[in-house]
Amino acid sequence: MQNGVIQFRQLQFGVEGASVDLTGTYDLLKGGLDLAGHLSLEAKLSQIVTGPKGALLKPLDPLFSKKGHGTVLPIRITGTRDNPIFGVSVFHKTFDRHL
């Protein structure tokens, strides 16, 4: 930690069926987040959604399956602790979601 900013070189956590590996910084004083890494899911991409969308995503399953996981997605968490922004990158396009 330097000047109230924590540098994470390897931040890992998980829940049943998913794990997250991140690197980046967290500003304790301002609450700023700048983390990037990967979300690994046991489920394949086509299994994450229901109905006809799942069938449409089935051909993409091999593109997102890595290292024994059903789906691996690059993710980013930015913004602040009070207003985090979660992003996922797919085919060089990032989709952000504010909470």
What is the model's pLDDT at position 51?
Answer: 87
Decide if 51 is inside a domain.
Answer: yes
Supply the pLDDT for residue 13: 95
Which pLDDT score, from 0 to 100, does residue 99 have?
A: 67
Q: pLDDT by residue (tens digit) across 72-81?
A: 999 999 999 9
Residue for token pair 């690197």: 23
The dihedral formed by the CA atoms of 29, 73, 57 and 84, expressed in degrees to the nearest 10: 0
Residue 17 placed within a domain: yes
What does pTM read for this prediction? 0.79
Domain membership of residue 99 (yes or no) is no
What's the domain count of the chain? 1
Residue 31 falls inside a structural domain = yes
Which of the residues in the chain have pLDDT under 50? Answer: none
- State how far the alpha carbon of 38 is from the alpha carbons of 55, 79, 87, in Å: 24, 18, 11
Domain that holds residue 45: 5-94
